[in-house]
Structure formats: C-alpha cells, structure tokens
Amino acid sequence: MTQLERHRVDAVLSHADLALYADKVAGRGRVQAFKRELSVDESYRRVIERELRSALLLDELDVN
C-alpha cells in the first residue's frame, strides 16, 4: 500500500468514525452520513478540549 493509499484509508476511517459519533449523539434508529461539517465540528471540539486541559493544568480555570 502506498503512502497516498494509506492516507485515503485513514481519511475514510476517520470520516466513518465522525459519522458514527454524530449518529450516537442524534439518538437511536438514525443513520448519519459523513458531512464536511462533522470534521469541522470535531476539530473545534478538540481545540476547546485542549485549551480547557491546558487551563486546568496551569491553574487558570476555577471550577465550582
């Protein structure tokens, strides 16, 4: 398998994972196809998570 083919396989698996996650969030008995927005939403979520973890580690966040 070439590097390009491996990249494509990884992208397809990532897209399928995002669609499955979106389907879980939407509830039972639904089907979710991959949409570009899912990738953007996941990227945004990862940024927020990373920033929150950093703030906690640096004691910059007060959680009551």
Average pLDDT of the residues in 12-29: 76
Number of domains comprising the chain = 1
Q: Is residue 64 part of a domain?
A: no
30-57: per-residue pLDDT in tens? 766 767 777 767 777 777 888 888 888 8
Residue 32: the pLDDT is: 67
Token pair 């927020």 in the structure block, residue:
48
Residue 10 has pLDDT above 80, yes or no: yes
| Amino acid code (one letter) for 8 | R
Residue 5: the pLDDT is: 80
Q: Is residue 63 part of a domain?
A: no
Q: Is residue 62 part of a domain?
A: no
Q: Is residue 19 part of a domain?
A: yes
Token pair 């494509």 in the structure block, residue:
8
In angstroms, the CA 58 to CA 60 distance is 5
pTM over the 0.75 mark: no
- What is the pLDDT confidence band of residue 13, given thresholds at 50, 70 and 90? confident
Instruction: Residue 37: give the domain boundaries.
Output: 3-57
Structure tokens at 4: 């390009």
Contact 32, 22 (CB under 8 A): yes
